[in-house]
Amino acid sequence: MTSLATPVTVADNPARALVCRGCGAEYPLAAQHACHQCFGPLEIGYHTDRLAAVTREQIEAGPQNIWRYAALLPAGQDPASRVTLNPGMTPLIRADPLARELGMKALWVKDDSANPTHSFKDRVVSVALTAAKGLGFTRYACASTGNLANSVAAHAARSGAPSMVFIPYDLERGKVITTAVYGGDVVAIEGSYDDVNRLCQELTETDEFEQTAFVNVNVRPFYAEGSKTLGYEVAEQLGWRIPEQVVIPMASGELLTKIDRGFGELAETGLVEAAPCKVFGAQSSGCAPIATALHNGADEIVPVKPTGIAKSLNIGSPAAGPYALESVKRTGGWMEHVDDEEIREGIRLLARTTGVFAETAGGVVVATLRKLLEAGKLDPEAETVIYNTGEGLKTLDAVAGAGPTHEIKPSLRAAKTAGLLA
């Protein structure tokens, strides 16, 4: 464990302690992610009275980014303390043409590709690095499937701190270029994400990395909280209402777990009326350990060796998998997985009907939505929000076959010959 254990001491921080999800043991707010007693994952425990005191008016008066929810987050209450690109308040798009095509009544796309580095990871990185800076760390790092590395490198650049991000060697070129351009260290590992993650865990134990915050390793409890803003925002954008159904992509399963938790907290604090929301999880068939466990009725998640084009979701050993299973079962949702051809078709369907060009993870979500409807698992009459978490320009190869529909000489005659004119 790290020796940097200075507790966060901002007076109006609603966070109280690190709490073990396994045994309930509590620890001071510091860079620690696993319980010393049962090795369970730690998460942030809050002063519930401080959360309950937060009002809609207070949030609505805040900035047009995630920090409008600062009173519900474990870091960043003081704007000067933030390490951030100010992500969030991304569009919630009413998707009527897509709904019609799928036979649905009311469908929205939460387009989180509209963040500074074009994925939802800017949310988690802003919270994690703000906490990390408060804890005294001087260098920022992560184990990444692509988007996280991109976001950490950009946040570090903005804040003037060095970064070192670790990625599998076989990531999409678009993900590597958009990360390397910020000038930090980019370390490609000959192995899978799960190998990268294991190495990063080991590095946190070394003296050389004592001052380095790995956003999804040693400060993971703070990182995870950033995902809740994707629940808060959707509820606020719907007019302070929780949707009836949501479809969320899963890699580690953390995002799904925390959106569900975000909805729950809004109800507990009285910011929205309590209402049931069925949570649905989406995976790629090349890496579907969580969906497979659900389908097999198993509580244990069997790790897999990831394959397939949805590389941002390729985590074979998903840390929050059991909690994602719990969320989906408790809310009456379901999970499905879709193959590469379905993912490509999902990207094209979303683009054609909404004007949103998603990365492969978004294709996974749209294809999963379709599959859930076909299987009768998702109610076409219920208000549904699907999450697009990343940008299509970073995974261009997925739709590389696309090109001009016509190619003609610059003359009216040629336009006519091509059928553009009568």
Ligand X SMILES: *Cc1c(COP(=O)(O)O)cnc(C)c1O
- Beta carbon of residue 360, minimum distance to ligand X (angstroms, whole number): 8
- Helix H or strand E encompassing 94: strand 92-94
- Beta carbon of residue 124, minimum distance to ligand X (angstroms, whole number): 8
What is the pattern of x (binds ligand X, CB under 6 A) and - over residues 226-265? -----------------------xxxxxxx----------
289 belongs to the binding site for ligand X (CB under 6 A): no
| Distance separating alpha carbons of residues 4 and 137, to the nearest angstrom | 8
Neighbours of 75 (CB within 10 A): 30
- Beta carbon of residue 22, minimum distance to Zn ion (angstroms, whole number): 4
Q: Which is nearer to Zn ion, 25 or 373 (CB)?
A: 25
Q: Within positions 2 to 61, which residues make up the interface with Zn ion, using CB under 5 A? A: 20, 22-23, 25, 35, 37-38, 40
Q: Which is nearer to ligand X, 119 or 204 (CB)?
A: 119
Residue 38 interacting entry, from ligand X, Zn ion, none, C-beta within 5 to 8 Å by type: Zn ion
How many residues sit close enough to ligand X to count as binding (CB under 6 A)?
Answer: 16
Burial of 421 (0-12, 13-18, 19+ CB in 10 A): exposed
SS (H, E, C) 267-289: HHCCCCCCCCCEEEEEEECCECH
Q: Within positions 114 to 173, which residues make up the interface with ligand X, using CB under 6 A? A: 119, 121, 147
Q: Which of 65, 115, 117, 312 binds ligand X (CB under 6 A)?
A: 312
304 belongs to the binding site for ligand X (CB under 6 A): no
| Distance separating alpha carbons of residues 218 and 201, to the nearest angstrom | 8
361 belongs to the binding site for ligand X (CB under 6 A): yes
Hey, what's the torsion of the CAs at 76, 78, 82, 88, to 10 degrees?
A: 60
179 belongs to the binding site for ligand X (CB under 6 A): no
- Beta carbon of residue 20, minimum distance to Zn ion (angstroms, whole number): 3
> Measuring CA to CA, how many Å separate 263 from each of 124, 213, 234?
17, 29, 9
| Distance separating alpha carbons of residues 62 and 70, to the nearest angstrom | 9
Residue 103 and residue 191 in contact, taking contact as beta carbons nearer than 8 Å: no
User: By three-state DSSP, how is residue 40 classified?
Assistant: coil
Q: Which is nearer to Zn ion, 5 or 25 (CB)?
A: 25
What are the residues binding ligand X (CB under 6 A)? 119, 121, 147, 249-255, 312-313, 359, 361, 389-390
